[in-house]
Amino acid sequence: MPGMNVMVPLGGIGSRFQKEGYKYPKPFVRVLGKEMILWVVDSLKLRKEDSLVVVYNPAFLDMRELMEMVVQHVPGTILVELPGPTRGAAETVRIGLEGLSASQRSRPTMLVDGDAFYTVDIVSMYRAISTKAGGSFCFRDTQPKPIYSYVTCVRGVRTIASIDASRRWRAGGVDVRPPRRHRRDRVTRSKPSPRPRITHRVGADGKQITSIKEKVKISDWANTGCYCFRDGQQLLKYCAQIIERGETQLSQDMKGEFYTSGVIKAMLDDGERFEALVLDKEAMHVLGTPAQLKDFCRTWPKPTAYRVCFDLDNTLFGPPEVSGDYSTCRPIPRAVRMCRHLKTMGHHIILHTARRMRTHGANVGAVVADVGAVTIQSLQDAGIEYDELHFGKPWAQFYIDDCGVNAYADLEKELGYYPPTAAAVASKYVPSPVASTPPSVVGRARHSSTTVALAAALGVAVGVLAARK
């Protein structure tokens, strides 16, 4: 079977995130320490013959430079740049397809939102029917507000096998009959399918889509935003067609936009077959608004453990209140809270400092002998637990780093951690994470006087050795 295109159209600017003070473009807002778009691409089970295509506006903040992160993460990613803002997803997709070669456009093409990811293998689910029909991933939405696009379907058959949120196969699958009040809903097709009842062994739910509407609740079957097409060239044709006809639909902001659902409607009107691929709602995670992102961060059961490095001065502690006396540095509460929270989760906490590096001419041993004991005591008094403490950070006015986080920024938004969160799980960065008990429960972390004395003695010894060289 030939490869598929999996396209992520990023035509919006993420205005809701900007209004709430997020500094990065929406695809690169961190979610539990990882950029939003990497959550999306990591959930896609691509084969080597498949292509990931990301369509984006390079004029928006630092998008061109940031997109290199995606290419490094998924080698071979195709980046297509937009010439400017678009009038909706269909126009973004059209430009993205025009950026591909003719042979690549002829392949089956999936469109995946840049702010939602799945815990099931949606690529394989569509691949199983990609030569026979287009598809739309759907879930049952019984609440009354029309906040999605919706489809109606002819009565079909049960799936022989489907994938649930825990990735287990289950016999019988999902009962895909439409809600009773919509059973009379039919659409006359210009080209009736010669095979109106098809059962596929994997992925399909035997539901043939008959109509689709944006923000109008024509049934309880809501689309997830992942739309699939047998042929990218055909998709390009219909995107251009609805744009030429001016077939916009109203958004939630009451603006006319060219939606992908409008493209599918035009294809349905011409007799193209689309099938509903039904998911449990729990298999989809939407990060589209700041509120949805925070809710996800607070409920996701398995955040990845990372190594997190904090500076001391003007990050965890303020400047000395008595010049030169580091015992008079006061903790900075918001940074200390974040450090404690990350340690409580099980992240590997590293502390480093340039204290006295200028005074002692970068002699690390002399630095430790001078401020090692008082630094450890200050951390102990502030209840800051850590895994590593490094003296000897080079002293400079500016530190320019691709992983840097502004100590004066909103650390929750910068890092993507919104307490409370679950304990971190093992990763290649931290093979054996150790979650700690919050300081509010156990009190302050304590180092024995012996530990402090040993640190001071070690500093003296290193300083002497350094002086002899």
Write out pLDDT tens, residues 382-438: 999 999 999 999 999 999 998 999 999 999 999 999 999 999 999 999 999 987 765
pLDDT in tens, 212-239: 999 899 999 999 999 999 999 999 999 9
Same domain? For 293 and 305 the reply is no
Pair (231, 334) in one structural domain: no
Taking only the tens place, the pLDDT of each residue in 432-457 is 998 776 554 333 444 444 444 455 44
Pairwise CA distance, residues 172 & 205, whole Å: 10
129 is written with which tokens? 């029917």
Considering the chain, what is the average pLDDT of its residues?
85
88 and 169 housed in the same domain = yes
- For the segment 46-100, what is each residue's pLDDT rounded down to a tens digit? 999 999 999 999 987 789 999 999 999 999 999 999 999 999 999 999 999 999 9
For the segment 277-330, what is each residue's pLDDT rounded down to a tens digit?
A: 999 999 999 999 999 999 999 999 999 999 999 999 999 999 999 999 999 999
**CB proximity list for 39: less than 8 A, separation 6 or greater:** 31, 117, 285, 287
Q: Sign of the C-alpha dihedral, residues 287, 290, 293, 295?
A: negative
Whether residue 291 is found in the same domain as residue 432: no
Number of domains present in the structure of the chain: 2
Residue 333 belongs to what domain range?
Answer: 301-468
CA angle 435, 441, 444 (to 5 degrees): 85
User: 281, 297, 313 — which closes off a domain?
Assistant: 297
Round to whole Å and give the CA distance between 356 and 87: 57
Domain match, 285 and 307 both = no
Instruction: For residue 462, give every residue at least 6 positions away whose Cβ sits within 8 Å of its Cβ, in sequence order, or none.
Output: 364, 365, 368, 369
Query: CATH number for the domain including 435?
Result: 3.40.50.1000
* End-to-end CA, the chain: 67
Got the DSSP string for 362-425? T-HHHHHHHHHHHHHHHHHHHT---SEEEE-PPP-S----TT---TTS-HHHHHT--SS-PPPB
336-360 mean pLDDT = 97
Spatial CA neighbour of 372 closest among 396, 387, 402, 351: 351
Question: What CATH number corresponds to the domain at position 59?
Answer: 3.90.550.10
Q: Is 367 exposed, middle or buried (0-12, 13-18, 19+ CB in 10 A)?
A: buried
Q: Answer whether residue 198 shows pLDDT above 80.
A: no
Sign of torsion, CA 122 125 129 133? negative
Cβ neighbour number for residue 245 with a 10 Å cutoff: 11
Same domain, 332 and 211: no
Residue 158 has pLDDT above 80, yes or no: no
22-36, 148-162, 276-290, 366-380: least confident range: 148-162
* pLDDT above 70 as % of the chain: 81
Answer yes or no: do 141 and 232 share one domain: yes
Does the pLDDT at position 177 exceed 60?
no
Picking from 251, 278, 297, the residue at the C-terminal end of a domain is 297
Whether 282 and 320 share a structural domain: no
307, 286: one domain: no
Cβ proximity of 119 and 247 under 8 Å: no
- Cα–Cα distance between 215 and 161 in angstroms, integer? 31
Q: Burial code of 64-85, b = ≥16 C-beta within 10 A, e = fewer?
A: eebbeebeeebeebbbbbbeee
Whether residue 311 is found in the same domain as residue 271? no
> Residue 299 is encoded by which pair of tokens?
């409920």
